Structures are given as C-alpha cells and as structure tokens.
Structure 1
Amino acid sequence: MSDTASERYHQGMVTRRSVLGDAHVDRAQAASTEFDRPFQELITEAAWGHVWSRPELTKRERSMITIALLAALGQDDEVAMHVRATANTGASREDIREALLHVAIYAGVPAANHAIKIAKQVFEQMDAGKAA
C-alpha cells in the first residue's frame, strides 16, 4: 500500500485482523505479489473498511450473514476461513447451524449440506487445536 493509504484502508486492516486474526492476515500479506496487491488493498478497504467496520451490525451478525452468503455461492475456501473466524467474531456453532438452515431453504439443500460438511471439518480442526 502506498504512503497515502486511506483512513478506510487502515480501519479495514484493523477490522480484518480482529476478525481473521493476525496470523491469517500476515500470511495473506506475505503471499501478496505485485499482481494481486491491488486486490488485497481493494478487499481491505472495501470489504473490511467499508462493510465489516460499520457499526449497525455486530461482528457476530456479519459473520453469520457472510457464512450464509458464501455457502449459497459455493465458496468453500471462504466458508472454511469464515467458520474459523467465528473464534473471533462471537458467532457460535448454533449461530452457524441456524444460518446454514436458512441457506438450505433459500439457496438449496445441496449448498447447505456441503457447507455443513465444511463447518464440521473446521470445527474438528479447531477442537483438535484446543486439545493440543
């Protein structure tokens, strides 16, 4: 990011780190190249700075909405990433289950079924990490 990074970008980075965790954001930043750096800047400013930083919804609520939308769109890697992020957003496993039940009705049973499979795998990984 240039020296003239916007205030929205800086706020986005704070929010992105609070939701996804420093380790994830640091990995994304380290893997960034000249090719995808503009994309990383865009999502940090737009998604994290403009949308996720708004005060009208809690991070828990945004987390539930985001997981439901990503599941409906079949964005498996993003579903997994945002399920992991629930450790930081306050969305419970029950919250995720309820969001995915909505996906089943409004976006289709196969989309919800697959997202539930992903969520279960992520929860198992998270539980194994706690036990270690």
Structure 2
Amino acid sequence: MIEDELYDSGLRLRREMFGSAGAEDQVENTTELDDKLQEIVTRNCFGDIWQRAGLERHTRSLITIGMLLALGRSHELRIHINGALANGVDVLELREVMLHSYLYCGIPAAVDGIRTLDSVLAAREAGESFPS
C-alpha cells in the first residue's frame, strides 16, 4: 500500500468514525486480494471525499445512509449507522431517513433500514462491537 498524507488522514477519520475495527483492523488484515481496495477506501473515500469542504460529516453520514438504503446494502448500512452516530447523527434522524426512504425506495427498503438500525442499536446497548 502507498501511505501518504491522504492515506494517513483517511485512516484517522476511519478510526474516529468506526474505531480501530473499521480502521487499523481493516487495513492491517488485508490480503493480496483486497489490499488495493482498502487503500482506495482509506485514501480516496475517507482521506479525500469525506473531508472535503462544503458538507459536514453529519450531513455526509445522512446522505450515505440514504444511498445505502436505496441500494439495499445492509452490510455497509450497518457500518455507516455506527459511523453516523459517531458523527453526531441522532437516532431520531436515522429513523426519519429510514421512514423517508419508503417514499422513494419502497417499503422493503424502509423495513430493512429500520431492522438494521434496530439491530445496530441493540448491539451497541449490549456492548458488542460492530462488524466492519
């Protein structure tokens, strides 16, 4: 992996949002199969786009949640719900995004979103670490 300022900045942001399970554990446990993808995610997603001026992290989290709902990406949704909570998004806001999604994505997306949110909150309440 190429480590530079964007990479380091991306790793710091991943740590802030997802803890070491979503930062160091992800990049330190790469294989020849996924090492380039982890580098891209760390540098481009979190070192660059997530840190651009123009949108606060709170807003970026809400947008990301909405897009993941629309795409039906429950695994990534679970991860980004935790990241959104770390970015100051509250549970009521997350609930409203899930409910709002039914207008544009359909009831199955809203149901999946609410179920995913509920399971993340239950895991957090039980003190479980979330999957990355």
Q: TM-score range by the shorter chain?
A: 0.7 to 0.9
Identity, % of aligned pairs? Answer: 34
TM (norm. structure 1) is 0.87
Alignment equivalent of 2:101, drawn from 95, 100, 103: 103
Gaps (5+ residues) in structure 2? Answer: none
1:114 positional shift = 0.7
Cα distance in structure 2, aligned partners of 1:59 and 1:113: 25
1:23 positional shift = 2.9
Map of 1:73-92 to 2, 5 A cutoff?
Answer: 73-92=71-90
The answer on 1:26 being equivalent to 2:15 is no
Map of 1:43-122 to 2, 5 A cutoff?
Answer: 43-122=41-120
Secondary structure in 2 matching 1:52: helix
Gaps (5+ residues) in structure 1? Answer: none
TM (norm. structure 2) is 0.87
Give me the CA root mean square deviation: 1.6
Give the number of aligned pairs.
Answer: 128
